[in-house]
Amino acid sequence: MSALAGRTAIVTGASRGIGRGIAERLATDGALVAVHYGSNEKAALETVEIIEGRGGRAFAFRAELGAPDAVDTFYAALDAGLAERGAAREFDILVNNAAASGSGRIHQLTTEVFDRLFAINVKAPLFLVQRGLDRLRDGGRIVNISSAATKHAFPDSVTYAMTKGAVDTMTLALAKELGPRGITVNAVAPGYIATDMNARRRATPEASAALAAMSVFNRIGTPADVADVVGFLVSDDARWITGQYVDATGGTAL
């Protein structure tokens, strides 16, 4: 029997990149996966098509996490998608992956970008958890996607790094709060992964080589490298792990 058979998983920002990789992994393990996206419907439907093409189950739903009514829109769209498939409104796994980046260095900051990054990267996951607590089943799993930028200086995007630091702190607090219900809460921190988000950093062969050299494996990570870590954390095998920052950087800067 598949490790996640009979379970429902939500992955935010699952239309591309790490989020798509996570959605594919959880579906392969047997979960019904709710593929959240903010704007790129075509990419989200591609994620669903990939999953279904491999015999998995998934559906896409939209909610702009930076909007004032983000949480209401999110759960209304989720409920509609679950109802269409005759599934219960309760779920077992929430992966807070969606994030915005690109704040720039300290002298480049604007209040508009600052507010947007904190709205999407911090406010949205916190209130998605709050609103979902009455439907997240006991023994459930929450995984927050953090970043290596919280452990290494990252002046190129100081606000982004700050938001991920807040995610790490939220992870600790939620793990303590939800432990009595058997719910684990962990953070997974990718390093440089080959996604659209950091494509500009891989614009030349020399730049790609420099990023690869930061890992002890001398390569840039893939979404599957992160997704497999998440797959473990949401499984029963990880029932005794909570409140942890899991480094998934390929040994960056050791």
Which positions ≥6 away from 55 have C-beta within 8 Å?
Answer: none
- Per the model's pLDDT, the better-predicted residue between 20 and 214 turns out to be 20
Tell me: the pLDDT tens digits for 70-119? 999 999 999 999 999 999 999 999 999 999 998 899 999 999 999 999 99
Q: For position 164, what pLDDT does the model report?
A: 98
- Residue 200 in this model has a pLDDT that exceeds 80: no
Q: Answer yes or no: is 3 within a domain.
A: no
What is the predicted pLDDT for the residue at 144?
98
Is there a domain that residue 253 lies in?
no
**Stretch 23-52: mean pLDDT:** 98
Q: Strand 32-37 and strand 8-11: pairing?
A: parallel
**Which of 37, 160, 192, 245 is flagged as catalytic?**
160
97 in a structural domain:
yes
DSSP readout, 5-47?
TT-EEEETT-SSHHHHHHHHHHHHTT-EEEEEESS-HHHHHHH
- Give pLDDT tens digits for 164-196: 999 999 999 999 999 999 999 999 999 999 887
Query: What are 111-163's pLDDT values in tens digits?
Result: 999 999 999 999 999 999 999 999 999 999 999 999 999 999 989 999 999 99
In a domain, 229, yes or no: yes
Report yes or no on 200 lying in a domain. yes
Query: Which pLDDT score is estimated for 202?
Result: 59
What angle, rounded to 10 degrees, do the helices at 17-28 and 223-233 form? Answer: 50
pLDDT score, position 201: 65
Range of the structural domain that residue 154 is part of: 8-248
171 within a domain of the structure (yes/no): yes
Please report the sign of the dihedral spanned by the C-alpha atoms of residue 15, residue 19, residue 21, residue 24: negative
pLDDT at 254: 87
The answer to whether residue 167 sits within a structural domain is yes
- pTM listed for this prediction: 0.95
Q: What is the CATH number of the domain that holds 120?
A: 3.40.50.720
**Catalytic residue check, 160:** yes
- Residue 42 contacts by C-beta under 8 Å, 6 or more apart in sequence? none
Q: What share of the chain has pLDDT > 90, as a percent? A: 89
What integer pLDDT is reported at residue 197 of this predicted model?
A: 67
Is 1 domain-assigned?
Answer: no
> In the beta sheet, which residues pair with residue 142?
94, 185
Q: How many domains does the chain have?
A: 1
